[in-house]
């Protein structure tokens, strides 16, 4: 036997077997990998109907029985589909099974739902895209459609749901719609979960009529209009959603629409995070509203309730409430906005158990005739805690009030506000000489006295007031200088001020009295404030005696609205073109024995022709007085000339009240 030949023969045979085994193993592994990457390969044989590229999907739909499952292989179709029977249409996932419209102005998939019974349709694993004037999916009538793991893009509207149709959208992406991504109208209902509605050129979601939608774990972001627009009687609930980076409002409610936000985030929208108009209602729970223009704006008769929310880092107001709107805020954080909460018109609120912190201008500010109430709120590191028509009880004191008198500086207290809070009602704060940073909110009876000449209170920044007196305040301030604020002293609500022997200078405005506040100002120098010396408006009352009011950019004293003022033995000089003493609205003023000289406008002037030729302000009040001395005023002693009695010994009055 030739053993050498036999050996080589066996060796070659073994190599062939080995190569064959390797090839078989590799092919099996590749097949297994393909099946793992293409789960549809496993289920295609189980589908009663399989449509492959080049075959008509619509023909398969027309031929299908009720409840059939139609599987689409990987590929591209150009069709407009109408589904008028219950069935399931399954593709192979994003970018794998693609349907473009043949007729660009029609929906890619239309489920008209015109029968007497609901038509249940399921769309899964499809990509519907293409330009044109139609939608991706349109539902009407009694259609009940589940859309799962689909992508819809490039259409005028991504999804339209009308009439009484029902939509369930799960794990889908709707982007690059030319106008709106999702539109619900009529009495339509939708449940949208784990989906992204982002990067559309107009609003993300528009809901109107009596339609309702529920969102869960969704992203509505980067849309060219509002994130979510609700009109009429529409309703929306958002749970664990993000509404961010939209070019309009995050959410905008009008009509009688209603929205509930639970554990969501509304952030970085170009306009308001949440805007509620008309009769809109919003409930916000456990939600963050961050880095919008205003965090929440509430107007007209709208109502908003916030519980356990975080409204922070918005570019202007955290919450702005206007007109007759109302808000209720509890257990929430309002921080790092310009103003934490601001009220205008006759709006109102209840604010309780909140942390209002680090707002650069005011923690809460009200220029509203409505009522703002609340308690248990902690205020920290705001420019000024409270301003305007607010009760002092809105804020918790920084320290327990136990002291009858405190001399400042006092190392026991980290700030002047702490020291003021530590005083018992009726207590006294004694100021040592020097400059002391104030920015105080005062809402109780208190005396502040300079122990010696040279004690000055200043604002924390020039854009903030030095002292803000709110409801409950009764302040007697003696011998101190007030300077370098937007306003030296603001007195609002029913606050009361007694000012004796003080200097108010280098502020934008010296003293501002509004609402039903009152002031007695005696032996003071109010000088060199950038705009005005003293403004008395609203229903405020003031008595100004033996003061010098000089060198202001606009006017020395302004009396407006229904305010009342008595000015006696006071010098008013160096005022701007508006005049020394200016009156508009329906105030009542008494001027006795004053010296009004060297003003660039008239000495005393009313807002009426011929004094002011074009102004929305009109004088319809009463002015009286006598024995006033008018030196040289560039606009004349008085305007109109009927006020000439002010310089006479016998005096007189001009009463234009209706």
CB 406 within 8 A of CB 381: no
> Which of these, 246, 253, 305, lies nearest to 277 by C-alpha position?
253
- For 159-210, give the secondary structure using H, E and C: EEECCCCEEEEECCEEECCCCEEEEECCCCEEEEECCEEECCCCCCEEECCC
pLDDT at 47: 84
Condensed to tens digits (0 to 9), the pLDDT of residues 147-182 reads 999 999 999 999 999 999 999 999 999 999 999 999
Condensed to tens digits (0 to 9), the pLDDT of residues 374-394 reads 999 999 999 999 999 999 999
CB 153 within 8 A of CB 176: yes
Average pLDDT for the chain: 93
- What does the block give as tokens for 44? 């295609």
Condensed to tens digits (0 to 9), the pLDDT of residues 90-114 reads 999 999 999 999 999 999 999 999 9
Return d(Cα 359, Cα 380) in angstroms, integer. Answer: 9
Per the DSSP assignment, residues forming a β-bridge with 534 are: 511, 557
Condensed to tens digits (0 to 9), the pLDDT of residues 18-71 reads 333 333 344 344 344 433 444 434 445 578 899 999 999 999 999 999 999 999
What are the helix and strand counts (H, E) for the chain?
Answer: 4, 72
Which helix (H) or strand (E) segment is 22 a member of?
helix 3-37
Return d(Cα 231, Cα 252) in angstroms, integer. Answer: 8
Condensed to tens digits (0 to 9), the pLDDT of residues 415-448 reads 999 999 999 999 999 999 999 999 999 999 999 9
Condensed to tens digits (0 to 9), the pLDDT of residues 463-506 reads 999 999 999 999 999 999 999 999 999 999 999 999 999 999 99
Domains and CATH numbers, the chain: 39-201 (2.160.20.10), 405-655 (2.160.20.10)
∠ at Cα 239 (186, 291), nearest 5°? 105
Residue 109: phi, psi to the nearest 5?
Answer: -125, 120
CB 508 within 8 A of CB 530: yes
Dmax of the chain from CA atoms? Answer: 156
Which helix (H) or strand (E) segment is 500 a member of?
strand 496-500
Q: Region 284-309: what's the mean pLDDT?
A: 99
pLDDT at 43: 45
**Number of neighbouring beta carbons within 10 Å of residue 193:** 18
pTM: 0.90
Return d(Cα 447, Cα 430) in angstroms, integer. Answer: 8
Condensed to tens digits (0 to 9), the pLDDT of residues 401-417 reads 999 999 999 999 999 99
Q: Is 550 helix (H, G, I), strand (E, B) or coil?
A: strand
Return d(Cα 555, Cα 572) in angstroms, integer. Answer: 9
> Which of these, 643, 641, 549, lies nearest to 595 by C-alpha position?
549
- What does the block give as tokens for 279? 């009769």
Neighbour-count burial of 314, counting CB atoms closer than 10 A to its CB (0-12 exposed, 13-18 middle, 19+ buried): buried
> Which of these, 159, 118, 107, 162, lies nearest to 140 by C-alpha position?
162
Q: Is 374 helix (H, G, I), strand (E, B) or coil?
A: strand
**Number of neighbouring beta carbons within 10 Å of residue 138:** 24
Q: Describe the chain by its helix, strand, coil percentages, rounded to 5.
A: 10, 45, 45
Q: Region 298-318: what's the mean pLDDT?
A: 99
> Which of these, 101, 40, 33, lies nearest to 73 by C-alpha position?
40
């Amino acid at each position: 036997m030739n053993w050498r030949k036999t050996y080589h023969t066996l060796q070659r045979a073994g190599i062939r077997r080995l190569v064959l085994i390797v090839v078989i193993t590799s092919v099996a592994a590749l097949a297994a990998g393909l099946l793992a990457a293409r789960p549809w390969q496993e289920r295609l044989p189980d589908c009663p109907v399989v449509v492959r590229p080049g075959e008509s999907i619509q023909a398969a739909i027309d031929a299908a029985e009720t409840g059939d499952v139609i599987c689409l292989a990987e590929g591209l179709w150009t069709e407009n589909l109408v589904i008028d029977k219950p069935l399931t249409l399954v593709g192979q996932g994003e970018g794998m099974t693609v349907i473009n419209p043949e007729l660009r102005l029609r929906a890619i998939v239309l489920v008209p739902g015109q029968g007497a019974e609901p038509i249940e349709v399921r769309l899964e694993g499809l990509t519907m895209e293409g330009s044109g004037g139609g939608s991706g999916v349109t539902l009407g009538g009694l259609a009940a459609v589940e859309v799962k793991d689909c992508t819809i893009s490039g259409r005028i509207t991504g999804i339209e749901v009308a009439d009484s149709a029902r939509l369930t959208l799960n794990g889908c992406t709707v982007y690059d719609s030319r106008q709106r991504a999702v539109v619900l109208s009529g009495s339509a209902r939708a449940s949208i979960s784990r989906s992204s509605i982002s990067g559309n050129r107009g609003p993300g979601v528009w809901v109107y009529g009596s339609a309702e939608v529920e969102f869960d774990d969704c992203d509505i972001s980067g849309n060219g209009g509002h994130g979510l627009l609700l009109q009429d009687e529409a309703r929306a609930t958002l749970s664990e959603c993000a509404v961010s980076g939209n070019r309009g409002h995050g959410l905008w409610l009008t009509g009688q629409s209603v929205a509930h936000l639970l554990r969501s985030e509304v952030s970085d929208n170009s306009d308001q995070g949440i805007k509620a108009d008309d009769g809109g209602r919003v409930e916000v729970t456990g939600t963050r509203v961050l880095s919008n223009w205003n965090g929440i704006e509430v107007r007209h008769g709208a109502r908003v309730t916030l519980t356990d929310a975080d409204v922070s880092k918005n570019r202007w107001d955290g919450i702005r409430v206007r007109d007759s709107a109302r808000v209720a805020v509890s257990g929430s954080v309002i921080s790092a906005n310009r103003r934490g909460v601001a009220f205008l018109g006759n709006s109102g609120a209840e604010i309780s158990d909140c942390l209002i912190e680090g707002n650069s201008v005011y923690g809460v500010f009200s220029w509203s005739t409505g009522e703002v109430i609340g308690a248990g709120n902690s205020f920290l590191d705001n420019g000024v805690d409270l301003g305007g028509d607010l009760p002092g009880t809105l804020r918790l004191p920084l320290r327990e009030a136990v002291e009858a008198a405190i001399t400042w500086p006092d190392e026991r207290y980290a700030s002047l506000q702490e020291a003021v809070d530590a005083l018992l009602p009726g207590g006294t704060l004694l100021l040592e000489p020097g400059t002391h940073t104030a920015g105080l909110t005062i809402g109780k009876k208190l005396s502040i006295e300079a122990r010696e000449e040279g004690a000055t209170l200043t604002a924390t920044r020039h854009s903030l007031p030095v002292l803000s007196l709110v409801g409950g305040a009764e302040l007697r301030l003696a011998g101190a200088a007030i300077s370098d604020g937007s306003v030296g002293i603001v007195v609002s609500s029913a606050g009361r001020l007694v000012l004796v022997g003080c200097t108010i200078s280098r502020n934008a405005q010296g003293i501002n009295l509004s609402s039903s506040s009152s002031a007695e100002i005696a032996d003071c120098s109010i000088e060199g404030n950038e705009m005005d010396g003293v403004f008395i408006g609203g229903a405020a009352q003031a008595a100004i005696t033996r003061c010098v009011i000089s060198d202001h950019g606009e006017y020395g004293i302004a009396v407006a609205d229904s305010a009342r003022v008595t000015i006696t033995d006071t010098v008013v000089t160096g005022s701007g073109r508006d005049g020394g003493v200016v009156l508009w609205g329906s105030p009542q003023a008494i001027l006795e024995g004053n010296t009004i000289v060297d003003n660039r406008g008239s000495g005393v002037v009313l807002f009426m022709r011929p004094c002011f030729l074009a102004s929305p302000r009109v004088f319809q009040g009463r002015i009286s007085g006598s024995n006033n001395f008018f030196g040289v005023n560039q606009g004349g002693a008085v305007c109109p000339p009927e006020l000439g009695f002010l310089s006479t010994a016998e005096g007189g009055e001009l009463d234009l009240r209706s």
